[in-house]
Structure 1
Amino acid sequence: MQAKIVEQLPKSGWGNCFVFMTYHSRTICKAKKPACNACVVTDLGPSCVQVG
């Protein structure tokens, strides 16, 4: 996933992007119960299961 983001995002945006991804992983993409139906980056996640 990181490689896909890095190739599409200018280096100046990396810091903000990874702050967002950390927040996202704590609120949407939880290990025990991911909310894939609410995820905006499902096409980047290697293990996402579409729900709904």
Structure 2
Amino acid sequence: MECQYTSCSVTCHRCGHAWTYRVSRLSSLSRTRKPVRIGCPRCYAKMALLAEAAR
């Protein structure tokens, strides 16, 4: 099975830190019912990763 890697640009809602997050299997991200939650590397706030932000 082949893995698809893509990058998502993410901006933290708390501290405003912007970074690029690498995601594997973008197709599974768009199929899942629950949002994928990631943490900000600066302030550790949890946020939802959106499939629309992927490029």
The two structures have a TM-score, normalised by structure 1, of 0.30
Structure with the largest fraction of helix: 1
Structure with the largest fraction of strand: 2
The two structures have a TM-score, normalised by structure 2, of 0.29
Q: Which has the higher contact order (CA 8 A, sep 6+)?
A: 2
